[in-house]
Structure 1
Amino acid sequence: MAVFWKPIAGRLLLTVSLTLLGWGVEGQGDRQGKKLVSGDVTVYLGQGRDIWRPIIHTTSNVSEISCIKSSFQLRTFDPEGAIFYGDTKNGEDWFVLALKEGMPLMQISIAGSLVSVMGGPQLNDGKWHTLEVSNQDDFVILDVDGSKGLVVGMGGPAKQTEDSHAGVLRLALGGILIDKGKMMIQFDHKMDGCVRKGSWLDLRVPWEVEVEEFLPCYQDILPGSYFPGTGFAVFNTSVFPVKEYEGIKIELHGDFSKMHGTILSIKAPGQEMMLTLTANNNTQEVNLSYGSQKISMKATFNKLVITFLDELLQVLKKQEKLQDLQVVSVKNSGFSSTWGNGRLAIGGLLGEGEDNVGSQFLAGCLDMIQIQDRDLDLDFAVKHPSISSHSCPA
């Protein structure tokens, strides 16, 4: 977009977009039925919403911009997701800042040309990092914690003669307003992270809210997947291949004595429940049901490994260096056919129907979830918006 890379007002799309992150979660009224927010407060980026739609968005005239530098703090354990977006010409020219593989990723479309740059320090370590964006000559510079992070040079479009003080900017937080296929580098948009302490441009326009309510940013966090007891995450089991002669292995890490509700359930449509794993914080027990077989365990462990074999179910419990292996013999278990077209729910009990409406939701944190020795990312599940995929309150 031509206005982005012209001197002073023209190079402002990146820093104008950052203003979006500075508006807070205090309602300011209503604009055609939309809740409006403003203020310099902490914002959680992992709000539940339609795919790729932003959490909040607004428009502003370029002529109202008088500042060319913005900064904010970002904290996340999530390696991938959208932070903010801005465009002009109704999306013809646009800019996106995101994380991919834990590093900053900037993508720019200007006058039909695409530019992307990715690199800098890893930002998904759960610590607060200060990001500052500024314009110097023909370059857009992203500083991270006082050091150069990314530099983008766009000299060509700056030669255009359009009025850099005219036009409208659309700004969005936590999502984008264009077709994701237009981006040069694809990424998953969901970001389990927070921004705070924004020092933004001098704009004072309100922002429209796209979510029903704002979820909190916890003061201290640890890596893991957090279930507040209001929903679960569902996967199709067919996406996890069965290893020949090795069966299926599910590994869960966490303080099981602090969990309550259904940790795991597996079921195929039209069939009986294959497996349920539940925790009872009152009795300090963890119970596993596999068909007619039942196992009751004291919740004194922090690692649980469940392995399905043709006619055996192995359950390994481990607390630090101590471990206890239980083996249940199951004749004609049929786990292979169930796994081939079934569903796996983390944090709830699967029900019947297309919506898989369940109950007995989990309240607690799973430090790690692995299926077939691979970490499970809940961002790729159909999940309740209250679930945090990569962080737990400490």
Structure 2
Amino acid sequence: MNYLKEVVVMLLLGPYLILLGKEVSGGQITGKGVINLAHRQSSWTPLMQTSANLSEITSIRSFFEFRTLDPEGAIFYGDTKDGKDWFVLSLRDGIPEMQIGKADILVSVKGGRKLNDGAWHLMELRSEGKFVVLKANNNVELVVGLHSKLAEEELTGKIRLGLGGMLVDKQKLFHPFQPGMDACIRGGQWLNLSTLWDTEPTWEPRPCFSEIKRGSYFPGTGIAIFNTSDLPGLKTEEAGITIEIFGSWTGTTLSFQSIGFQYISGPEVQLGLKEASETASLSHEPATFTVNILKHTLVVNGKAELETESLDFFSMWKKGMLLTFGGVPDEREDAKSIHHLRGCLEKILVQGQVIDLDQALYKHSAVSSHSCPAEAVNELI
């Protein structure tokens, strides 16, 4: 595990510093346009945030259109008293969840219909005294009541708002969740505020596709890296370990890296063993791509690509290799490459279990974890 962490730092720190050396793209934007929450460096800090004096607030009501296929992540956050009292709206299993921290009370309530169906939903959040109401498509989905004798009734100071993350420590959550949200928001009206929102310093605004389908989208830039020791492991030696990928793409599909070993599968399969190397060609990228890992053999789409008694792939998998989807970790991450994957991985299975890119050891911000442009639909909004 320590080796993998060192490798990731060495391979990815260089491109990251290059990115920091560029003129940053963050700044101030309006909260009313189309906002893609998916592409970001930080997982917890909001993609964008704003603040205002509470004396300026005349309507405790916000509404916006929201679309996602992601089952879990942070949508909307607000707090007062510099985070002593806070609120966050998120999804869990596709279902809305509200968590509130106020004085001595923590509340977590989940309910309503699933919203991660890829359709646009009109969302409304409003305060009704001691109650917070969530509506979706003009239907009340969730009502949360909260009262504390320790809370101050008259609020003064500032209110802070955030999209796609939180401004307080995640340890304050009553019910932890994965914050990354592959979603789009448009037409936002946030309280009655007309102030601009501050964005992450490295954030580059990205459009949203007009129609989407389930899958992980690689635009020709960026990779996702897993530690194999964190993935499902060996059940029987006879069956080995199976990786299945479904979708449509070109470029590098996956690669393995460990000490003295590298395997790359893409337009050309390259096998590196210490100082020796071999190459073999795949005729095309199939709609289904399967790698079966046996003790001393790698089988790709039913064909043995590598057989060696000197390596024990089962031990290497358990100890930890870098399994990378979409490219090779030592390629420059901030530039497009003919070797990087371009297309939609509709489903990734390891030992029959679906793999979520949000669980990756590292994922480039250009990669969308849960949505791809629908077939034959590439218009942007």
Q: TM-score range by the shorter chain?
A: 0.7 to 0.9
Partner AA of 2:242 in structure 1: K
- The Cα shift of 1:373 comes to 1.2
SS of residue matched to 2:261: coil
2:75 to 52, 68, 83: 83
Change (3 A) 1:225 1:109: same
Check conservation: 2:182, 2:368, Cα contact below 8 A. Answer: yes
- Corresponding residue of 2:240: 247
User: Alignment identity in percent?
Assistant: 42
Partner AA of 1:217 in structure 2: C
- Corresponding residue of 1:284: none
Provide the rounded CA distance (Å) in 2 between the counterparts of 1:103 and 1:147. Answer: 14
Provide the rounded CA distance (Å) in 2 between the counterparts of 1:328 and 1:209. Answer: 47
Change (3 A) 1:89 1:68: closer
Provide the rounded CA distance (Å) in 2 between the counterparts of 1:177 and 1:379. Answer: 20
Asked if 1:53 corresponds to 2:32, the answer is: no
- Corresponding residue of 1:216: 207
Partner AA of 1:276 in structure 2: I
Provide the rounded CA distance (Å) in 1 between the counterparts of 2:44 and 2:293. Answer: 37
RMSD: 2.5
Runs ≥4 in structure 1, deviation > 6 angstroms?
Answer: none
- Corresponding residue of 1:305: 290
Matched length: 337
TM-score (norm 1): 0.79
2:365 to 385, 388, 392: 385
Asked if 1:230 corresponds to 2:208, the answer is: no
Structure having the higher Rg: 1
Provide the rounded CA distance (Å) in 1 between the counterparts of 2:121 and 2:171. Answer: 30
Provide the rounded CA distance (Å) in 1 between the counterparts of 2:153 and 2:347. Answer: 53
Check conservation: 1:266, 1:350, Cα contact below 8 A. Answer: no
Check conservation: 2:220, 2:336, Cα contact below 8 A. Answer: no
Partner AA of 1:227 in structure 2: F
Asked if 1:278 corresponds to 2:263, the answer is: no
Asked if 1:264 corresponds to 2:265, the answer is: no
Change (3 A) 1:348 1:328: closer
- The Cα shift of 1:41 comes to 0.7
- Corresponding residue of 1:341: 320
Provide the rounded CA distance (Å) in 2 between the counterparts of 1:96 and 1:120. Answer: 16
- Corresponding residue of 1:174: 164
Provide the rounded CA distance (Å) in 2 between the counterparts of 1:110 and 1:365. Answer: 43
Check conservation: 1:226, 1:364, Cα contact below 8 A. Answer: yes
Provide the rounded CA distance (Å) in 1 between the counterparts of 2:329 and 2:199. Answer: 32
Asked if 1:185 corresponds to 2:175, the answer is: yes
Partner AA of 2:187 in structure 1: K
TM-score (norm 2): 0.81
Provide the rounded CA distance (Å) in 2 between the counterparts of 1:375 and 1:75. Answer: 22
Provide the rounded CA distance (Å) in 2 between the counterparts of 1:302 and 1:48. Answer: 29
- The Cα shift of 1:47 comes to 2.7
- Corresponding residue of 2:102: 110
Provide the rounded CA distance (Å) in 1 between the counterparts of 2:82 and 2:42. Answer: 20
Provide the rounded CA distance (Å) in 1 between the counterparts of 2:84 and 2:306. Answer: 62
Asked if 1:69 corresponds to 2:56, the answer is: no
Provide the rounded CA distance (Å) in 2 between the counterparts of 1:79 and 1:156. Answer: 32
| Greater RCO (Cα-Cα under 8 Å, separation 6 or more) | 2
Give 1:297-376 correspondences, 5 Å limit.
297-299=282-284, 301-316=286-301, 325-327=302-304, 330-332=307-309, 333-339=311-317, 340-351=319-330, 360-376=339-355
Structure 1: stretches of 5+ with no match in the other structure: 1-32, 280-286, 317-324
Moved more, 52-61 or 291-300: 291-300
Provide the rounded CA distance (Å) in 1 between the counterparts of 2:55 and 2:285. Answer: 63
- The Cα shift of 1:377 comes to 0.9
Partner AA of 2:180 in structure 1: K
Moved more, 130-139 or 222-231: 130-139
- The Cα shift of 1:327 comes to 4.2
- The Cα shift of 1:113 comes to 0.6
Partner AA of 1:390 in structure 2: H
Check conservation: 1:42, 1:217, Cα contact below 8 A. Answer: yes
Provide the rounded CA distance (Å) in 1 between the counterparts of 2:106 and 2:178. Answer: 19
Check conservation: 1:41, 1:196, Cα contact below 8 A. Answer: yes
1:195 to 161, 164, 185: 185
